[in-house]
Amino acid sequence: MRHVAQGTGHAGLALLALSMGGFAIGTTEFGTMGLVPYFSKGLHIDIESAGQVISAYALGVVVGAPVLAVAGARMRRRSLLIILMLLFALGNLLSAFAPSFGWMLLFRFIAGLPHGAYFGVAALVMAGLVPPHKRTQAIAGIMTGLTVSAIFGVPLANEIGQLLSWRWAFVLVAVMAAVTAGLVWVLVPREEEAPRRRNPLDELAALRNRQVWLTLGIGAIGFGGVFAVYTYIDSTLLQVTHAAPAAEPMVLVLFGIGMTLGNLVSARFADKALMATIAGVLLWSAASQALYPLMTGHLWSMALAAFLVGGGAGLGSPLQARLLNVAGKAQTLAAALNHSAMNTANALGPVLAGLAIGAGWGLPASGWVGCAMSLGGLSIWALAALSQRSGVLAGAE
């Protein structure tokens, strides 16, 4: 992976551009959940049906990540990033003008298509701009754009949805994406490597790699606990904690701060001990999610619990770095699949927590479900570690 000569300045400017894309993606991914009451009314559908809009976006991520990664394998990565952001802008702009529920589902699916490929390609670009011992921190910088969106972008989108219209919230995201495309064009260094040297079929090699699949499994299961809790945190605040609606933004901001700090701290440790850091984050998640049901009775403890659970978002960047380590020539596809795995977690966590709540265990039970998923991810981590150790020993023989 070779680029034009660059220094710290080039890497810093590129990170600014790429993290802006993460901010735009995070604003629509998390912000749409808060806009459900508004676009459900505007499109004349019930809340339950409106939830399918979130699923349509997640499905777009899962489908788009491998398809666009393979299709764009011969393209220069900077050009591919620009195209992905423009497609993301188009999907959100179309969402703003959706005339019906059916069209909204289609447009949210389109908006989700570039999500995983963008983060995967952006991670590869940043990994090529910094020394190897800072790679995870560089990837975390891109992901920080996503986590910071939970602090600033999501409340802004929600405020626009309340004051103006939910449609303007999607316009805002489309503008962010268009700005990102311009920033990538100006600030990301042009790649030296000739695109024809990359074979799209090489990318499919990731699908034959056991370590790639195990790493994706850690994310798909282990990260689901964060979404299990996050999806029902508003309802828990109102119905269990009996907090005033005005307290919701404060708790969600604390969740976002936990995500941001978890992402930055885990990346710093991951550059020194990658597998140990992944295990540490999973244990953190399991412990905080196990405590969550015990902390929902009071606002102050609920706010603390939100912050602690949010720290589990630190799993994303180390998993992205590990995929780059184990993927061989299939770098683009493996990196993009990380976000397919994360959105699988986004689908699984809420569904499993919803089943527990529906079975009469109560809203706080989302924490127990999350804990079980984190421990499930840790089990897959153990398989990956044993498999890796067996491979090393076999190689030594």
**Any idea where the domains of the chain sit in the sequence?**
1-196, 199-397
Return the sign of the alpha-carbon dihedral for residues 81, 260, 12, 267. negative
Q: Which residues, other chains included, contact 263 with Cβ-Cβ below 8 Å and sequence gap of 6+?
A: 140, 143, 144, 147, 313, 314, 316, 317
Q: For residue 345, which of 321, 314, 377, 375 has the smallest C-alpha distance?
A: 377
d(CA 264, CA 180): 22
pLDDT, residue 306, reads 93
Class of 199-397 in CATH: mainly alpha
- Domain 1-196 carries which CATH code? 1.20.1250.20
Q: Tell me the pLDDT of the chain (397 aa) as tens digits.
A: 444 444 445 778 888 889 899 899 988 887 777 676 778 788 887 765 676 787 788 888 888 888 887 787 778 888 999 999 999 999 999 999 999 989 989 999 999 999 988 988 888 888 778 877 777 887 778 878 878 887 888 778 878 887 888 899 999 999 999 999 999 999 888 765 545 555 555 666 666 778 889 999 999 999 999 988 987 887 888 889 998 877 877 888 899 899 889 988 998 898 889 999 999 999 999 999 999 999 999 999 999 999 999 999 889 889 988 988 887 777 777 777 888 888 888 878 888 888 898 888 988 999 999 999 999 999 999 999 998 877 543 343 3
pLDDT, residue 92, reads 95
Q: For residue 169, which of 180, 156, 179, 178 has the smallest C-alpha distance?
A: 156
Determine how many CB atoms are found less than 10 A away from the CB of residue 7. 8
Q: Are 128 and 1 in contact (CB under 8 A)?
A: yes
Residues belonging to the chain = 397
pLDDT, residue 252, reads 83
What pTM value is reported for the model? 0.79
1-196 with 199-397: one CATH topology?
yes
